A and B are shown apart, each in its own frame.
Chain A
Amino acid sequence: MKLDAKIPGGPVQQKWDTRKFELKLVNPANKRKYKVLVVGSGLAGASAAASLAELGYQVECFCFQDSPRRAHSIAAQGGINAAKNYRNDGDSVWRLFYDTVKGGDFRAREANVYRLAQLSVNIIDQAVAQGVPFAREYGGLLDNRSFGGAQVSRTFYARGQTGQQLLLGAYAALSRQIGLGTVKMFPRTEMLDVVLVDGHAKGIVVRDLVTGEIRSHAADAVVLATGGYGNVFYLSTNAKGCNVTATWRAYKRGAGFANPCYTQIHPTCIPVSGEHQSKLTLMSESLRNDGRVWVPKAKGDKRAPGEIPDAERDYYLERKYPSFGNLAPRDIASRAAMQVCDEGRGIGDTGLGVYLDFRDSIARLGRDAIAARYGNLFHMYAKITAEDPYSRPMRIFPAVHYTMGGLWVDYDLQSTIPGLFVLGEANFSDHGANRLGASALMQGLADGYFVIPYTIGGYLAGQKAGAVKVDHPQFQVVAGEVAAMTKRLLQVQGKRTVDDFHKALGKIMWSKCGMARNERGLQQALREIPALREEFWRDVRVLGSERNLNQSLEKAGRVADFLEFGELMCRDALERRESCGGHFREEWQDDGEAKRDDENFCHAAVWEYTGPDQKPVRNAESLEFDNVHLAVRSYK
């Protein structure tokens, strides 16, 4: 597999300008002859589809929800970063770039991160012009708050619903184009494969989730913006429908999959309450602006939190990381929580929890100020736990939240399959081994609004418009394979439900490839997952037919892919014999802090599919750090 990142030459500040100038342009009159398929309508997909249509391309956009407005991006709470420096507190494009490279534990590509920091400022301008109601101060100007891993206030927010408001902005732009007839929208439609013609992505095969019809769509290029794969763990903060199917099937057609083991475990989620649990709920990182994290100093202290005096509390983040305190990055905060629980100081019935306490900030700022900042989050917490976070500290625990790994892309966001572009959480690009809070929204929108509109032109300019049609024989071949797999799932007629298998996989992944990993556990997982997969194909029970709305069938296809993908994740975690960011190998640590091995692992691992049940090949893109000095990450 050839990995050419196509990073432009010159100083990092000028690379994007250089690239934009180098890229060939498609003449405005010719644009409408090209068709682009955008799979996904989250921040990345909706912004891409709208922007490409504004430029004049014919666009078709797909999502599996009943409306593009419901993509998982809608659930993002806390905010979006931008190097506007409206606070005059020392922020700059360079600082955002630096924080992101460092936050990612030096496992991201510098050139991409710099571009992301540059574009961040345009995103806020764009969103405000669309009518996104960001929080404002009394002077009418935009307000900011701080997020983990940063010592400046650069996070823009709309109460605790920033993702919702940004997505509704992108959805409005998309809807405008749908109304104008330049985008054709296909909701409740699931992409089940990409179609390659002469090695280029020229279309997709989808299933209409209402009628069950398997259909082909041909185009000049395909954009995947299908989100992350955190649900491989079954329990995560992701929406129930999030899955790996689109990127996994592209991988099986030849797209390299980079760093699948990089998973973000978010430190502040509501703890699990029982076996029936179907998902985990995030309590936004923004809460750590005003909440203090603690556990009792003594083991097994079961007193109510209000009865534990300050002297007997351990504010362990403030103690261990005095300069960042409660705003230590996520991977570090999660591991610290796990440590205190391992020591027997965890709180709640299960001992798997820590407190996030607002007592002091309520005393300082008043209840109303706290309600104005976090009202909807407090409301959500109270609904789920039946406890009042204004009077009793929240109980929180780490949970799977985000996946930094994804399909490998070059600087133009093109995968190893020509004509197949990947945006947003679905690609691997900008966050290295750990993503900083409020940076995923920024990346999705930078990719969709400001990168793909330029880079796709560079590809299309070299392609003859409309050269491939759905009557090309390759579409029939792929559609046949898709239909066969759907049938096969219904024909097993075994005894165990799809959810049952998914939960079993989730348990393996969480215990052996979760917050801490080691050689023995990963080796075990690599035996257990194939066995579970084999059992799935022998004993899964999917009822009903493929010719109508069948939610079990949809789930079954996704879980079948997770059962293959989980194995690749464990393999990647095993082969990366170092700790970095969210990937913590117990064998490589310094007193509980991740210990990188830059000599051997300063690269992105890119996996290449070699056939069913064959060992995939591990390729590497080596990472150069010319601007941010490779150093041990410290937040102390």
Chain B
Amino acid sequence: MKVVLHIWRQTKRSTEQDHKQDGRMVRYELADVSPDMSFLEMLDVLNEHLIGRGEEPVAFDHDCREGICGSCGVVIDGVPHGPERGTTTCQLHMRSFQDGAEIWIEPWRAAAFPVVRDLVVDRSAFDRIVQAGAYISVNTGAPQDANAIPVPKADADRAFDAATCIGCGACVAACKNASAMLFVGAKVSHFAHLPQGRVERERRARNLVAAMDAEGFGNCTNQYECEAVCPKEIPVRVIAEMNREYLRAKVIEQPAGGKQIGGHG
């Protein structure tokens, strides 16, 4: 099959003042596309042609190519990860497009995710949020037997449903406010459903929300675009759960005179 691609090309890193830099959409035609190719394999073919012509290939992030590492992710025809539900860009196949299709390919757009080059963005803000408290404070070697605390299956399953987040950032890219609430909600929900996670729940909720705000992500106005594009189909209920945890933390904070509880950093 044949496709026409319009791809964002940018060589200089975006800054707060200048997000676009030298970026622009460039048109490419590609004739030798097979419907069995993955979307990224189609970009590989394009890149081989570009190198052949002496043009620099299109930069894009990818690694596992099976939907689990969260490296890949581009906006395809206005939708993060493209037209299929519950799918990362690397799991998308060209059979999802018509012969002769025109396809627009852009990087994630969010102030908190500056473009590094072409389709590659900097998502380190997510790592910094995790560093602020998306963990259980347990040192290696300390734990008791794994079966000492039974966890109801339903709780374990709900924790898993949130923990399955791959940190790709599609939720942010889909949101008109560039909010990271689905990502942060997933972290909070994962731990909130486990007895091991409850010890630090107030501290975690407060710290994660503060870190999220500091990174410049927007607020949630209940558009639910995030859930629609999430390749792991993480439900928006995690946002409600996060709000609940956060409120709870605020309420508990007051009688204790703002004193922190639960753990030691």
In the complex, whether A286 has a CB less than 8 A from a CB of chain B is: no
Residue of A nearest to B134 (CB): A172
21 residue pairs A–B, Cβ–Cβ below 8 Å: A51-B140, A54-B140, A65-B63, A69-B127, A74-B68, A125-B145, A126-B143, A131-B159, A131-B196, A140-B156, A159-B160, A172-B134, A175-B135, A241-B63, A276-B45, A279-B65, A279-B66, A380-B67, A383-B93, A384-B91, A450-B141
In the complex, A173 has a CB within 8 A of chain B = yes
A549 touches B153 (CB 8 A): no
A380 to B34, CA, bound (A): 19
In the assembled complex, B131 has its CB within 8 A of some CB on chain A: yes
Q: Which single residue of chain B is at the shortest CB-CB distance from A379? A: B86
User: Are B51 and A552 touching (Cβ within 8 A)?
Assistant: yes
Cβ 8 A contact of B61, one of A66, A164, A276, A386: A66
**Which of chain B's residues has its CB closest to A124's CB?**
B146
Interface string of B222-250 (1 = CB under 8 A from A): 00000000000000000000000000000
A158 B160 Cβ-Cβ under 8 A: yes
Instruction: State whether the Cβ of B144 lies closer than 8 Å to any Cβ in chain A.
Output: yes
Q: Is A141 a contact partner of B141 (Cβ separation < 8 A)?
A: no
* A128 with B196: CB separation less than 8 A: yes
Query: Closest CB of chain B to A458's CB: distance in Å?
Result: 17
Rounded to whole Å, the gap between the CB of A299 and the closest CB of chain B is: 27
Q: Which single member of A127, A140, A499 contacts B152 (CB below 8 Å)? A: A140
Given contacts A69-B127, A124-B146, contact A133 B139 (CB under 8 A): no
> What residue of chain B has the Cβ atom nearest to residue A129's Cβ?
B143
| Interface pair B59/A70, CB less than 8 Å apart | no
Instruction: List the A side residues contacting B116 at CB < 8 Å.
Output: 210, 549
Q: Are B44 and A276 in contact (CB under 8 A)?
A: yes
Chain B residue numbers with a CB within 8 Å of A279 are 65-66
Question: Would B65 and A239 count as touching, CB distance under 8 A?
Answer: yes
A-B contact count (CB 8 A): 218
Q: Do the beta carbons of A274 and B146 come within 8 Å of each other?
A: no
Are B41's CB and A276's CB within 8 A? Answer: yes
Asked if B123 and A544 make an inter-chain contact with CB atoms under 8 angstroms apart, the answer reads no
Tell me the nearest residue of chain B to A542, going by C-beta: B51
Q: Which of A50, A179, A278 contacts B65 (CB 8 A)?
A: A278
Q: A75-B66, A137-B153, A276-B34 are in contact. List 18 more A-B contacts (CB 8 A).
A: A50-B140, A54-B140, A66-B71, A70-B70, A70-B71, A74-B68, A133-B194, A139-B150, A140-B150, A175-B135, A210-B116, A274-B37, A276-B37, A276-B41, A278-B41, A278-B65, A449-B141, A543-B56
Q: What CA separation (Å) do A1 and B252 show in the bound complex?
A: 64
Q: B91–A164 contact, CB under 8 A?
A: no
Cβ of A540 to closest chain B Cβ, rounded Å: 10
User: Does B51 lie within 8 Å of A497, measured CB to CB?
Assistant: yes
A75 to B70, CA, bound (A): 10
- Are the CB atoms of A179 and B44 closer together than 8 Å? no
* Interface status of B17 (Cβ within 8 A of chain A): no
Contact partner of A278 among B38, B145, B157, CB < 8 A? B38
Of B13, B127, B135, the contact of A130 (CB 8 Å cutoff): B135
Contacts of B45 in A (CB 8 A): 276
B40 interface residue per 8 A CB criterion: yes
Establish whether residues B140 and A138, one from each chain, have CB atoms under 8 Å apart when the complex forms. no
Instruction: Please state if B160 and A549 are interface contacts (CB–CB under 8 Å).
Output: no
User: Is A180 a contact partner of B146 (Cβ separation < 8 A)?
Assistant: no
A203-216 near B? 1/0 per residue, CB < 8 Å: 00000001000000
Bound complex: CA of A54 vs CA of B166, how far in Å? 26
What is the size, in residues, of chain B's interface with A at 8 Å between Cβ atoms? 79
The chain A residue sitting closest to B43, CB to CB, is A278
What per-residue 1/0 map shows which CB atoms of B81-121 lie under 8 Å from chain A?
Answer: 00010110001010100000000000000000000110010
Is B51's CB under 8 angstroms from A543's CB? yes
Would you call A419 an interface residue if the criterion is a C-beta within 8 Å of the partner chain's C-beta atoms? Answer: no
Q: Which of A103-152 contact B (CB under 8 A)?
A: 122, 124-131, 133-142
A541 at the interface (CB under 8 A from B): yes
Q: Which of B130-178 contact A (CB under 8 A)?
A: 130-147, 150-153, 156-157, 159-160, 163-164, 166-167
| CA of A137 to CA of B117, assembled, Å | 47
* Nearest opposing residue in chain A for B51, CB measure: A497
Which chain A residues lie closer than 8 Å to B40 at the CB level? 278
The interface bits of chain A over 20-56 (1 if a CB of B lies within 8 angstroms of the residue's CB, else 0) are: 0000000000000000000000000001001100100
Contacts of A72 in B (CB 8 A): 63-64, 69
Q: Is A625 an interface residue (CB 8 A)?
A: no
Find residues 232-290 in chain A having any chain B CB closer than 8 Å to their own CB: 239-241, 273-274, 276-279, 281-282
Contacts of A187 in B (CB 8 A): 124, 127
Check if A130 sits within 8 Å of B153, measured CB to CB: no
Chain A residues near B145 (CB, 8 Å)? Answer: 125
Q: Which residues of A contact B157 (CB under 8 A)?
A: 133
Instruction: Tell me whether B71 and A131 are in contact (CB under 8 A).
Output: no
Q: Enumerate chain B residues within 8 angstroms of A126, measured Cβ to Cβ.
A: 138, 140-141, 143
How far is the CB of A617 from the nearest CB of chain B, in Å?
36
Contacts of B95 in A (CB 8 A): 386
A548 within 8 A of partner (CB):
yes
Complex CA distance for A386 and B160, rounded to whole angstroms: 27
Q: Is A297 an interface residue (CB 8 A)?
A: no
CB contacts under 8 Å to A, within B184-201, are 190-191, 194, 196-197
B77 within 8 A of A: no
Given contacts A75-B68, A175-B130, A278-B41, contact A131 B140 (CB under 8 A): no
Among A159, A187, A543, chain B packs the most CB atoms within 10 A around the CB of: A543
Chain B positions 42 through 76: 1 when the CB is less than 8 Å from some CB of chain A, otherwise 0: 00110010011011110101111111111100000
Contact of A67 among B84, B93, B127 (CB under 8 A): B127
Kindly state the separation between the CA atoms of A228 and B76 in the bound complex, as whole angstroms: 33
**Any A CB within 8 A of the CB of B29:** no
A414 on the interface (CB 8 Å rule)?
no
Question: At the interface, yes or no: B258 with Cβ under 8 Å from chain A?
Answer: no
Query: How many angstroms between the C-alpha atoms of A380 and B87 in the bound complex?
Result: 9
Minimal beta-carbon separation of B98 from chain A (angstroms): 16
State the CA gap A383–B141 with chains docked (Å): 41
| CB proximity of A191 to chain B, nearest CB, Å | 17
Q: A66-B122, A128-B146 are in contact. Are A499 and B151 (CB under 8 A)?
A: no
> Taking the complex as formed, is A202 at the interface, i.e. its CB lies under 8 A from any CB of chain B?
no
Contact B132 A129 (CB under 8 A): no
Residues A383 and B136 in contact in the complex (CB < 8 Å), given A134-B156, A276-B37: no
A548 touches B11 (CB 8 A): yes
Alpha-carbon distance between A69 and B124 when the two chains are bound, in angstroms? 11
Let me know if B140 and A142 touch, CB within 8 A.
no
CB of A541 within 8 A of CB of B51, answer: yes
Q: Is the CB–CB distance between B63 and A240 below 8 Å?
A: yes
- Contact present for B153 and A497 (CB under 8 Å): no
Bound together, the chains give a CA A241 to CA B57 distance in angstroms of: 17
Residues of chain A within 8 A (CB-CB) of B36 are 273-274, 276
Query: Measured between alpha carbons, how far is A113 from B93 in the docked complex, in Å?
Result: 42
Residues of A within 8 A of B13 (CB): 210
Given A84-B146, A273-B36, A383-B87, the answer on whether A136 and B133 have CB atoms closer than 8 Å is no
The answer to whether the Cβ of A12 comes within 8 Å of any Cβ in the partner chain is no
Assess whether B217 is interfacial by the CB under 8 Å rule: no
**In the bound complex, CA of A161 to CA of B153 (Å):** 17
Does B183 sit within 8 A of A, measured CB to CB?
Answer: no
> In the assembled complex, which residues on chain A have CB atoms less than 8 Å from the CB atom of B265?
179-180
Distance of A156 Cα from B68 Cα, bound (Å): 19
Verify if A551 is at the interface (C-beta below 8 Å from B).
yes
One digit per residue, 1 when the CB lies within 8 angstroms of any chain B CB and 0 when it does not, for chain A 483-510 equals 0000000000000010110000000000
Bits for A168-179, please: 1 = Cβ < 8 Å to B, else 0.
100111011011
B34–A274 CB distance below 8 A: yes
- The residue that B197 contacts in the complex, of A74, A131, A135, A159, with Cβ under 8 A, is A131
Contact assessment for B93 and A549 in the assembled complex, using a CB-CB cutoff below 8 Å: no
Q: Given the interface contacts A66-B123, A125-B146, A133-B190, does A549 sit within 8 Å of B44 by beta carbon?
A: no
CB contacts (< 8 Å) of B131 on chain A: these are 175-176, 178-179
CB distance from A284 to the nearest CB of B (A): 11
What residues of chain B lie closer than 8 Å to A240, measured between beta carbons? 62-65
| Cα separation A256 to B169 with both chains bound (whole Å) | 41
Leading 4 A-B pairs by shortest Cβ distance: A140-B150, A172-B135, A129-B143, A179-B131
